Structure formats: structure tokens, C-alpha cells
Amino acid sequence: MPAAVTRPPPAAAGAEATRPVRSRMIGVPIIVALVVLLLAEVAVRVGKSSLATPSAWPAPELQKKYDQIVARAGSAQGTDVVLVGDSMMDAGGDPAALVAAGSAARVYNASVAGETLPTIAEWTAKVVVPRLHPKVVVIGFSSNELSPAVLAPSLGLSAYRHSRAVRDAEGTGGVIDRADGLLRRTSMLYRYRSVLRNPLSLGGTVAGSAGGIFDPKLTGDGQDLAFTGQQYLAQGGVNQARLVIGTIIATLEGFTVGKDNVAILQGLITNLRRQNIQVLLVAMPVTADLVSFHPAGAADYQRALASFGSIAQASGALLAVPGVWPINEFADPVHLNGAGTVHFTKYLAPLVRQAAGSARSTGSGSGSGSAP
């Protein structure tokens, strides 16, 4: 007998026919989603200049400066001299003017406002220097940074280290931190996601403020322009000064030179010197008003200057002490305005040139010195 021919039941044949249809039904939404994401990515890249700057770092200024530093590190521009410190150097250090004055070919201001001394030291040692590889680091602080009150570990270094962006930048983060960093660097849609979810922020940031957080306008080489056009206490007297620099006034109450502060600053400089980086420590220019805010006035201020001298001597840094300058060169008792920045550039340029020359001639510079 001939072999029987079996045929698949009609239902099975129908199932086979529907498989390609189902595959297409699944594949089409995936393709559409990918196209939408791609178009959204392109749209964000094109329109990001009109969006508020998102910050994965603890402060908007840190985010902006990190972006600038990464861009500089990835270019052939390089950096010879880096300025670091708090808001005083942030406002007063003008890289473009220093370059024009012949102090160095390439200068960047990596100072950050509103951060504690331990945070600034870690930012400098683990983020700034490893990326920019400067020959000279200029550190600018004043007496307030020697007070134990500025350490604020729970509000300062602890909060800084809690940031995924910080951990990724320092190379101490885990898989999630690294993945987050990679996505922020490669996808503008991911980086701006929080801004896009908040329509009220689409108009961009306001210079000097972002939701009450200090967010100054910066030059391309890092200088903070928040104080440039201001006149000294234009809206009042000492009461206004206390309002403008309330946090600094608070740190000067019961002023003393803290051992931990000295150890942090001296440790930073020593670490830089071990890397064959020349260091210029600047006790930033101040007003007579700021000196008077110390509990013991000039005696406390001179105690701070003596401590800066000891730190420089112990760590092998050069020391510069500009002293007390006229109030018409300040926006408030601590921050230089445009006129003060011009004066500071004239003062600083030859000292930076000296430090850079020492670094070139010896490979590292040797010993400590001082400048008037």
C-alpha cells in the first residue's frame, strides 16, 4: 500500500503563518522607539544652549568647571598654570589677563566658591591636577580658611563624596557610578533628563543663582564673573557686608588657626610638590573691614599670615602676601571686583612667571620663598 500522506491540521498551518506577523508587530514598536529616542537625542544636542545647565555634581559651578576641565584635557591646548582656592581666587584670578601679561601660555582657574577646605583640597588633588597636569598650581586663600568652622564635614566633604559624579571622576565609584558617568558623557538626552522633566527650567540658568545655589557666570577659562561689575557695598555699610559674607563672618567668630586646617592645606601642597609641581601660596588681598571682623582684629589676621608662612616653609611652596587693599577694588570685604582683578593680575603675573621659570629650570623648583 502507498505510504499515507499526512497533512498538518489547519490550525497548525495558521499558527505558522502568524509568526512572521507577530515578529513584525513586536519589531515595529521597537524600531519606532529607537527612532524617537534618536530624534530626541538630536533635538537636545541642537537645543541644549537654551536649556538650564544640569548638574550631577554637588554644585552647579563644579559641574561647569568639570566640563571645562575635561574639554581642556581632551584637547591639545594643555594647561601650564592652574589657579585653585575658594570664591576669592575664583573671582580674582583672571587666566586670560595672566596670559596676556606673559606669566604663562596657558592658565585655568579651577577655584570653586562655597565649598569647604577639605573639598577644595580633594577636588584639586583628585580631579583637577590629574587631568590638567599643570607645572604650577597657585593656591589662593585667606584667614577664614584656617578657621575650624569652615571644615563642616557633614555639609562639605561628606556631601561631596556622596555624589556619583564625584566618585566617577575620582575613579572610586562602582559599576553604577561608572555607567552613570558614561551615559552623561555620551547621551545629552540622559544628561538633560531632569531639566526636560521640569518645563519651568527650560529658560536657562540665571547668572549667579540657580534655585538659591550660587551659580556664577564663568569665562571659558574658569573665572567667576559674579563680582566683576560691582562696587563696594553699593547698597549699604557694615550690615550689608554681614549679609553679603555672612558665612565668612560666622567662621571668624572665635577665630583660631585650626590644626586640621593647617594639616589639610600643608598636605595638599606637599602632595603637589612630590609630583614636581611648583606651588605658589597666596594669602589673598582683603579689605580693612575684613581684618576688623576677626575677634582680635589685626592680631588674628597676622596670626593667620604667620600660619600661611609656616605652611609654605614646611611644604616647599612659594608665598605671596598682597595684604590690605583699597575698598574701591572690592565688591564686598572679600571679593575683588573688576578693578581689583586688574590690580591682582599685575601683582600676580610676575610671581607666576617666577614660579613657572623655577619649575622649568629645576624640574620641580626647590625650597620655599616669599614675595611682598
AA identity, residue 340: G
Packing angle, helices 298-315 and 259-274, rounded to 10: 30
Give the mean model confidence (pLDDT) for residues 66-83. Answer: 90
- Please report how many Cα atoms fall inside a 13 Å half-sphere around the Cα of residue 197, on the Cβ side: 7
Read off the pTM. 0.77
Q: Specify the range with the lowest mean pLDDT, choosing from 35-39, 140-144, 346-350.
A: 35-39
pLDDT on residue 57: 87
pLDDT, tens digit (0-9, with 9 covering 90-100), for 142-192: 999 999 988 876 667 878 888 888 888 878 755 554 455 455 555 655 555
Q: Identify which of 119, 117, 110 has the alpha carbon closest to the alpha carbon of residue 159.
A: 119
Residue 107 burial (10 A CB sphere; 0-12, 13-18, 19+): buried
pLDDT on residue 349: 97
Residue 346 burial (10 A CB sphere; 0-12, 13-18, 19+): exposed
CB 176 within 8 A of CB 56: no
* DSSP symbols for 288-321: HHHHHHSTTTHHHHHHHHHHHHHHHHHHT-EEE-
Confidence of residue 10 (pLDDT cuts 50, 70, 90): low
Cα Rg for the chain, rounded, in angstroms?
Answer: 27
Q: Could you identify the residue written with the cell 583637577?
A: 128
AA identity, residue 273: R
- Please report how many Cα atoms fall inside a 13 Å half-sphere around the Cα of residue 59, on the Cβ side: 24
pLDDT, tens digit (0-9, with 9 covering 90-100), for 191-237: 554 444 444 444 443 333 333 467 889 999 999 999 999 888 876 55
Between 1 and 140, the higher pLDDT residue: 140
pLDDT, tens digit (0-9, with 9 covering 90-100), for 293-329: 999 999 999 999 999 999 999 999 999 999 999 999 9
pLDDT on residue 208: 38
Give the mean model confidence (pLDDT) for residues 240-263. Answer: 82
